């Protein structure tokens, strides 16, 4: 192609105009932004009520509940099946940015809930020109709500919902190299799930974990250079989100 300075000034102006045409990101489209605004507002209200009993507990009792989760995470999440427990708006936007910069085509999410993080990631897939997001959840009523929310956001065609325990539903990967893995389900499963999926990660894949401090073994694993990642915590939400890239 001819360098720009060889062209007549008016042609150069036209080309610049075309280049400057602003495309609104799917995440900021009225439809997606509207659904997210509604979901984040509802999450704030519902989770305030659902988490109240935990907030009223002493630190020791709360720690005991989380410790019991190690053996029986199913009971904990059954009790929490009305709660959203979503990623923060900032982390959600960051997930969108990660998926865009990685040009992700295949994304796996552990922990769908009502689909707030799913919407952020699916919006990135749309802007990447398409792809597939496999998300998994073991509370069937949550999957139904998530499917509706993704439909309302106009993104459901990009999402495959897998019902059941992630240790089973993701056991054999997703049939394609994974560009981005989001861990946001039961914390005791972060490490076993990563071990299960590591051979399915694409070179340069991103691994992101919400509430990573609740899985110190995952953080230690990702931060150990011998395991082939470069990893750090993201400085919001109390440094509780870990993001790593696989060498
Ligand atoms: C923190 S919430 C996910 C929030 C969601 N990523 C969002 O941003 O809206 C965790 C979800 O993972 C689900 N979950 C926990 N352990 C699971 C497992 N082993 N398999 C499938 N789903 C699981 C819970 O039922 C819960 O809905």
Cβ neighbour number for residue 132 with a 10 Å cutoff: 18
Whether 55 is in a domain gets the answer no
Give me the number of domains the chain comprises.
Answer: 1
Whether 99 is in a domain gets the answer yes
Pocket perturbation via mutation, ligand 1, pick of 116, 137, 170, 190 by most ligand atoms within 8 A of CB = 137
Please name the residues in contact with 119: beta carbons below 8 A apart, sequence gap of 6 or more.
Answer: 32, 35, 36, 39, 92, 149, 150, 153, 155
Task: Please report where in the chains the tokens 């005991």 appear, as a residue.
Answer: 64
Query: What is the distance in A from the centroid of ligand 1 to the CA of 100?
Result: 23
Whether 78 is in a domain gets the answer no
Whether 81 is in a domain gets the answer no
Whether 226 is in a domain gets the answer yes
Report the CATH number at residue 191.
3.40.50.150
The mean predicted confidence, pLDDT, of the chain is: 91
Q: Which domain holds residue 138?
A: 89-246
142 CB within 6 A, ligand 1: yes
pLDDT of residue 65: 80
Tens of pLDDT along 84-120? 999 999 999 999 999 999 999 999 999 999 999 999 9
**How large a percentage of the chain has pLDDT more than 90?**
79
Whether 82 is in a domain gets the answer no
pLDDT of residue 67: 79
135 CB within 6 A, ligand 1: no
Whether 213 is in a domain gets the answer yes
pLDDT of residue 59: 82
């Amino acid at each position: 192609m001819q360098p720009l300075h060889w062209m007549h000034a008016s042609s150069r102006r036209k080309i610049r105009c075309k280049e400057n045409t602003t495309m609104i990101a799917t995440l900021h489209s009225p439809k997606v932004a509207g659904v997210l605004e509604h979901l984040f507002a509802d999450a704030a209200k519902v989770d305030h009520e659902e988490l109240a009993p935990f907030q009223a507990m002493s630190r020791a009792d709360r720690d005991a509940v989380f410790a019991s989760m190690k053996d029986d995470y199913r009971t904990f999440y059954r009790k929490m099946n009305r709660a959203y427990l979503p990623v923060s708006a900032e982390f959600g936007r960051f997930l969108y940015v990660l998926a865009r910069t990685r040009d992700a085509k295949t994304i796996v999410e552990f922990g769908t809930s009502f689909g707030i993080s799913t919407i952020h990631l699916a919006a990135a897939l749309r802007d990447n020109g398409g792809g597939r997001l496999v998300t998994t959840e073991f509370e069937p009523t949550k999957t139904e709500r998530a499917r509706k929310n993704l439909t309302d956001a106009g993104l459901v065609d990009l999402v495959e919902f897998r019902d059941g325990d992630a240790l089973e539903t993701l056991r054999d990967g997703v049939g394609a190299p994974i560009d981005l893995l989001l861990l946001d389900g039961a914390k005791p499963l972060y490490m076993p799930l990563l071990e299960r999926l590591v051979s399915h990660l694409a070179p340069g894949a991103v691994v992101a974990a919400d509430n990573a401090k609740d899985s110190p073994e995952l953080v230690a694993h990702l931060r150990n250079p011998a395991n082939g990642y470069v990893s750090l915590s993201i400085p919001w939400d109390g440094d509780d989100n870990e993001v790593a890239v696989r060498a």
